[in-house]
Structure 1
């Protein structure tokens, strides 16, 4: 049984998109990945904070442009589903941190994540970077990743005319495929694989994409706090 999808109010600046239009789901993700790939060509690591800020600003602008097309973010989940989403967010980060160093790096994954230590920026620069990094980690990534992985790609695997598939419908094939691809997109492939399966299960159970966004937001927030407190920059 799927949750009803509320109709968004029309707005003069609304971006008109049909249910099968994939661009609003793919554009923020594509921009983020493409700009991230360019970070390897920076003249030095000292350029990274500015590069990340520019990337976050561009992705945020794209998301703002398409914000009124994402009908699948509504309605909000009920209280019990929110509690479950929060609990699973903590579980995900428990796996992410707890499994660190307990699984092999896969050669074709490109090696460990490139870490940036903001302590090299001085006090003011450090906290300015951390603020921008946390905004991207907590407010941008959970939204555009869930829209791409758990809404668009999950439904597209079920039916390439994905607009016909109700938000929250999950099959074993779509859950496994999105989780595997989610794992391939992260150096931390094992916790990412488990995370993809957990959030596919959350989507199937709650029939709410917003529940997945909330869980992802909580997970990223907890990870960000841990990274800052433990100086564990390798997770960024």
Structure 2
């Protein structure tokens, strides 16, 4: 299978299901679209498992201790910036209500919370880092991207990939900074697990922050 296809398919499935979620929200008013998230995360996780043997960059599991600490630090810094960079000009369109796991009586559905955090912290980072950093960021530098040492990615490729990553998010400015941070981390460590760990840290801690503060708009 094509190297581009196997790194794009999980991401494409995620975006396709995201579009379906919007359609169902508008037209299937009797369906609780919040339950599409665990379905979406499950389908993407299944695709990653089936295609795992093709992801040579993820078969290198060892991260040096200093790179683990750096990845955790980057993830925390991105989180702090993410929850503060939400001024009007930093958003693409209007900020919605977000993913609110509360029922009609106002109680939090902890199963929905568990699915949301697990998907965001365990599935999304692998899916997105494979697509945005391992594939696109390297491909923008060199068409035969698998043969390219991540450390040789230039500033232009980093900026373009990060800008495209930014417009995937309502908080485009925070997304741009996150893309630059994760992209730089991949270049610096030459190990895709570094941005995966950073991304997972950001998303996992963001979940804890959202549930604690009930600022659902960040979901």
Superposition TM-score, scaled by structure 1 size: 0.85
Cα distance in 2 for residues equivalent to 1:210 and 1:51? 28
User: 1:22 Cα shift?
Assistant: 1.1
Does 2:159 match 1:173?
A: no
User: 1:114 Cα shift?
Assistant: 4.8
List gaps (5 residues or longer) in structure 1: 1-16
Match for residue 72 of structure 1 among 53, 57, 61: 57
Q: Could you give the per-residue CA deviations for residues 122-146 of structure 1, whole angstroms, max 9, x where no partner exists?
A: 6887111111111111110000100
Matches within 5 A, 1:1-236: 17=1, 21-42=3-24, 43-44=28-29, 47-73=32-58, 74-101=60-87, 103-105=89-91, 109-120=92-103, 126-236=109-219
Q: Specify the SS of the correspondent of 1:120.
A: coil
Cα distance in 2 for residues equivalent to 1:123 and 1:112? 21
Cα distance in 1 for residues equivalent to 2:196 and 2:104? 32
Cα distance in 2 for residues equivalent to 1:110 and 1:65? 36
Output the aligned Cα RMSD: 2.0
* 1:167–1:75 distance in 2 versus 1, CA, 3 Å: farther
Q: Specify the SS of the correspondent of 1:118.
A: coil
Cα distance in 1 for residues equivalent to 2:90 and 2:66? 37
User: 1:177 Cα shift?
Assistant: 0.4
Superposition TM-score, scaled by structure 2 size: 0.91
Give the aligned partner of residue 13 of structure 1.
Answer: none
The answer to whether the 8 Å contact 1:182/1:193 transfers is yes
